Chain A
C-alpha cells in the first residue's frame, strides 16, 4: 500500500501551466521529509514528462505513488503516440514545433533526462491511442510505515 497517492490532470492547452503538477509533488515530498536528491530526481522526471504531455499529447493524467522504498510515477495520455520508442529515446531526436523550441524546449532531451534520473523507466505507446510512461525512483533504505 502506498503511503501517499497523488493525482493530477495536466491541461494540454496551456504550456505556461506545465510544471504545476511537478511543483506540487515536490512540495508534498518535502513535507514528507524526503532527501533533496530524491526530490530532485522525481521533479526532473515529472517535469519532463509533464512537458511532453503538453507538447506532444493533449494533456493527460499523472499518478504519483509514494511507497516506503520507492516513488512510482505513471503518466498517461491519449495523444498521438510514439511510433518508434527507441528513436524517441535518443538524445536530440525531437518532433517539437519551432514555437516550443523558441521557449527553450524541444531539444530532444526530455526522455533521456527521464531515463537518467529514474531508476526504472518503461514506455507503452500506440500510435493514435496514446502513451503511458512508468518511472520509478528508489528512495533507498525502506522507512518504517
Chain B
C-alpha cells in the first residue's frame, strides 16, 4: 500500500504528497526522538510522530522513510512544509493518536 492509498482509505490529510504515490509502505516506526528515528527506523517505514519541526523532514529524507504521518492533529508550519515539498517527502496528517494510526497500518500490512 502506498502512503497516498492509506490516506485515501482512512481519510488522512495529504499535507505534502512527495513520493507518496510511488513508494510502498514497508513497515511502521513510531517515535518522537529524532536520533532514535535516525538510528532505528528502516527504509520505507511509515514514520509516525508528533514531532513536527523542520528536523522531522530532514530525518525523513536521510532515513529514507516512505512517509511521515503527523498524529494528534499536529501540523507543519509553512517553511517546514515547503521544505517537505521541495524534498519530495510525503507528509500525512491525522487527528488520531499515534497508536490508532499505527494499528490501522499494522492491519493493512498484515502484521496483526
The reply to whether chain A is a binding partner of chain B is yes
Interface size on B, residues (CB 8 A): 21
A77 at the interface (CB under 8 A from B): no
Q: Is the CB of A26 within 8 A of B39?
A: no
Q: Is the CB of A104 within 8 A of B62?
A: no
- A 79-117 contacts with B by CB, 8 A: 103-105, 107-110, 112-113, 116-117
Choice from A15, A36, A112 contacting B39 with Cβ under 8 Å: A112
Q: Is the interface of A mostly helix, strand, loop or mixed?
A: helix
Separation in Å of the A128 CB from the closest CB of chain B? 26
Most interface-central of B39, B53, B54 (chain A CB within 10 A) = B39
Separation in Å of the A71 CB from the closest CB of chain B? 15
Which one, A43-51, A61-69, A119-127, is touching chain B? A43-51
Choice from B36, B63, B87 contacting A107 with Cβ under 8 Å: B36
Separation in Å of the B21 CB from the closest CB of chain A? 20
Closest to B61 in A: A23
| Size band of the interface chain A makes with B | 20 to 34
A5 at the interface (CB under 8 A from B): no
When chains A and B are docked, how far (Å) is the Cα of A133 from the Cα of B22?
37
Closest to B37 in A: A104
Q: Which residues of B contact A15 (CB under 8 A)?
A: 55
| Residues in B lying within 8 Å of A, measured CB to CB | 32-36, 38-39, 43, 51, 53-56, 58-59, 61-64, 79, 87
